[in-house]
Structure 1
Amino acid sequence: MTDVQNSEEVQKLIQTSFEMKEKAYCPYSRFRVGAALLCQDGTLMTGCNVENAVYGLSICAERVALTKAISEGRRRFKAIAISSDMKSSFIVPCGPCRQFMVEFGTEWNVYLTKPDGTYKIMTTGELLPLCFVPERFEEERINPNA
């Protein structure tokens, strides 16, 4: 598990995800999600969900934040906080977002939050056990030329 340095850093990460939730474009589901991604170098990248009338073209907040970070040359991450308006349960990333996150490691933190500021911490690997990671391409195969 990658440690986020202190509770002040955690609170800033969570608060930023709450602020990003306000920017969500979700006229169909009305399910706002915000994300704040802490890169290994200390840079904070943000994202919100962006829906489309063709649902398959929508993109989740987590992938927006990660895509922004990747497009700026960052590949190593400490943590991501995600937020929604769900009162009684913690927001969790969807399956595609979980797979997108483990592409960049299985040991960085995901802060699952509630609107009251409470949170639960899991690693990316815990969120997607038995995940398919880039290292799998290096494993020995029965037909390496296929």
Structure 2
Amino acid sequence: MTDGNEAARLIALARAAAANAHAPYSRFAVGAAVLLTDGSVVTGANVENASYGLSLCAETVAIATVSAQGRLREVAAVGVIGGMMDADGRATGHDPVRPCGRCRQVLNEAAQLSGNDLRVHCAGAEGERIASYRLSDLLPDAFGPADLGIA
């Protein structure tokens, strides 16, 4: 489906981003790395809040940063990792973590605006196993800008 180097690069950058997760409540750190069409990458980590509903997922943080840079139409792929934090605050675990439903919808906004069926690479906080998907497989029949005549 995709170049293995792309997936490995994005997963490595997502793992580095997860080290900055603020997850004192769930103790579940998530990192995301968003690849833009020019090869640059924007990362994000989850940010929890004592008012749980105000927490932000890593993918949302990264996509919001991309949007703030005016580059939402340039998103090509994303890497996502996650895992429970150990006593030292380091994410652990080998099972691939996939974007939650809200994040799939946020990624879909960028996908429809860019005209790309985003590649989504998922991994655990540790290990070499990477599961790669197309966003359309993770969020079939998605609602987005095209439904509003915008894309």
Which TM class, normalised by the smaller chain length? 0.7 to 0.9
Kindly tell me the number of residue pairs found equivalent between the two proteins.
136
- Given candidates 116, 123, 134, the residue that maps to 1:113 is 123
Counterpart of 1:14 in 2: which secondary structure? helix
- Alpha-carbon contact 2:118-2:135 (below 8 Å) kept: yes
Q: In the aligned structure 2, how far is the partner of 1:78 from the partner of 1:117?
A: 22
Residue identity over aligned pairs, in percent, reads 37
Amino acid in the other structure paired with 2:139: L
- Deviation string 1:97-138 (CA, Å, 9 cap, x unpaired) is 010111122611000112202111111111111210211113
Runs of 4+ with >6 A deviation: none
Which segments of 5 or more consecutive residues in structure 1 lack a partner in the other structure? Answer: 139-146
Mapping 1:13-92, distance limit 5 Å: 13-75=10-72, 76-85=74-83, 87=93, 89-92=95-98
Structure 1 Cα separation of the partners of residues 130 and 4 of structure 2: 12
Alignment-derived partner of residue 99 in structure 1: 105
| 1:9 Cα offset (Å) | 3.3
The one-letter code matched in structure 2 to 1:79 is A
Contact 2:11–2:122 under 8 Å retained in 1: no
Deviation at 1:88, TM superposition (A): 5.1
Whether 2:143 is the aligned partner of 1:132: answer yes
Rg comparison, structure with higher value: 1
- What secondary structure, in the 3-state scheme, does the structure 1 residue paired with 2:83 have? coil
Alignment RMSD (CA, Å) = 1.8
Q: How far apart are the structure 1 equivalents of 2:96 and 2:5?
A: 21
Structure whose residues are more often helix by fraction: 2
Which residue of the partner structure matches residue 143 of structure 1?
none
Amino acid at match of 1:112: C
Larger relative strand fraction: 2
| Structure 1 range deviating more: 68-77 or 30-39 | 68-77
TM-score, normalisation: structure 1: 0.86
